[in-house]
Homo-oligomer: A and B are copies of this chain.
Amino acid sequence: MNRFISGRRKMRVTLKDVAREAETSVAAASATLSGKPSGNMRISEATRQRVIEVAARLGYVPNPIARSLTTGRTGVLGLVFPYVDAFVDRNPFCSMLMNGVFTEAIQDSYNMMLYTVRDGFWAGKHKIDPRVDGLVLALPASDEPLLLRCRESSFPCVAIVCAPQPDPVMTVNADDYQGGLLATKHLLDLGHKRIMMLHGGDLVSTNQPRLDGYRKAMQDAGMQVTPDLVVRAGFDWRPGFEAMTTVLERPQSEWPTAIFAVNDLCAAGAIRAIKAKGLSVPEDFAIVGFDDTWFSTTTQPMLTSVRMPIKEMGALAARMLASEVNGKPPTERHPVLPVSLTIRNSCGASTQVPALEFPES
């Protein structure tokens, strides 16, 4: 009997079993079953059939661990996620990104290992895990040790929503600059002059281009961006709330009339602050967010927001990584995906959105 217990795991049928049963060599069995007649090795149709039949009969499943040890490939891609609790639970951004990465990875027959990172357990602590062939890094900062480590050792990886990286690191980004431009222009077009930006701080790569886009639009319109118009908030709800609360403590004459928030959660926080003061959106303040996930439809009023193709970005990243790992490096190694503006009710512009909307993703 060739099934026995080792440790606490039932041993499965091995290639040796198949070879013995099919009265041939392990090598031949391997060659047939892995489909690649390696080297100058050809298998006669007779043994081929026998091996295949026996393998099926015995229920042989190759052991990916053993295979990895010899081939140096695992067929697994890693996804590194730095985001924590509340942020993940509430921001569809994360699940949409994951969704994209996974959908594509499955298509390319890759499995996914997920590395999340939380308080006190940052990516810096992560070593490159040889159990994955490559990594998708959704790290917001471009100086993460893990990212640097990948670069140094030329480990296949693609950084997503992260500042441009030197080769061989690939990147996938949305056109944040254009997004900032679009958002601000929209507010400008509606006649606003004092437009404030609630930004996310310089630890997150996507912040700067959005801010640059904002500045450019303002400048093009001949508006001056005084320091009081650029207020530090963050990419989550609470910092948006707190920053806006602070702004509303200024004399009313110094208030902006419109706000461009660095993302939707931040915008939602700002809206809460505004409501808490007994004021309202869009009557007292117009506000534009960024991301345009279905979250944007849950606020009151629903958010006008810059749309990023999040799921597509995840899928693209996975596809690029799979190509790289398979030795077909993608030609476009730093794609920047286009953004657009979804107009809802938070700016007072006439809406394009049907009254009854089921966000599909």
Interface residues, chain A, with chain B CB atoms under 8 Å away: 6-10, 12, 61, 63-66, 68-69, 71-74, 76, 85-86, 88-90, 92, 94-96, 99, 102-103, 106, 111-116, 118, 121, 127, 129-131, 153-154, 237-238, 241, 272, 276, 293-294, 298-300, 327, 356, 358-361
Chain B neighbourhood of A129, CB < 8 A: 64, 111
Chain B neighbourhood of A76, CB < 8 A: 113, 131
Asked if B116 contacts A7 (CB within 8 A), the reply is no
Partner of A361, one of B85, B293, B294: B85
Asked if A294 contacts B90 (CB within 8 A), the reply is yes
Give bound CA distance, A94 to B94, whole Å.
12
Nearest opposing residue in chain B for A61, CB measure = B127
Give bound CA distance, A88 to B69, whole Å.
35
Partner of A298, one of B102, B238, B276, B298: B298
Give bound CA distance, A10 to B113, whole Å.
21
Partner of A130, one of B8, B64, B69: B64
Q: How far is the CB of A70 from chain B (nearest CB, A)?
A: 10
Give bound CA distance, A351 to B253, whole Å.
37
Q: Is the interface of A mostly helix, strand, loop or mixed?
A: mixed
Top 7 A-B pairs ranked by shortest CB distance? A298-B298, A7-B72, A114-B114, A9-B72, A89-B92, A102-B116, A65-B68
Asked if A96 contacts B89 (CB within 8 A), the reply is yes
Asked if A118 contacts B130 (CB within 8 A), the reply is no
Asked if A356 contacts B130 (CB within 8 A), the reply is no
Partner of A99, one of B66, B88, B300: B88
Chain B neighbourhood of A115, CB < 8 A: 111-112
Asked if A12 contacts B114 (CB within 8 A), the reply is no
Give bound CA distance, A298 to B113, whole Å.
32
Chain B neighbourhood of A299, CB < 8 A: 298
Give bound CA distance, A154 to B8, whole Å.
10
Asked if B300 contacts A90 (CB within 8 A), the reply is no
Asked if A131 contacts B64 (CB within 8 A), the reply is yes
Nearest opposing residue in chain B for A75, CB measure = B131
Asked if B113 contacts A153 (CB within 8 A), the reply is no
Partner of A113, one of B61, B114, B300, B361: B114
Give bound CA distance, A68 to B71, whole Å.
15
Asked if B111 contacts A112 (CB within 8 A), the reply is no
Chain B neighbourhood of A71, CB < 8 A: 7
Give bound CA distance, A102 to B113, whole Å.
12
With contacts A73-B7, A238-B358 known, is A118 near B106, CB below 8 A? yes
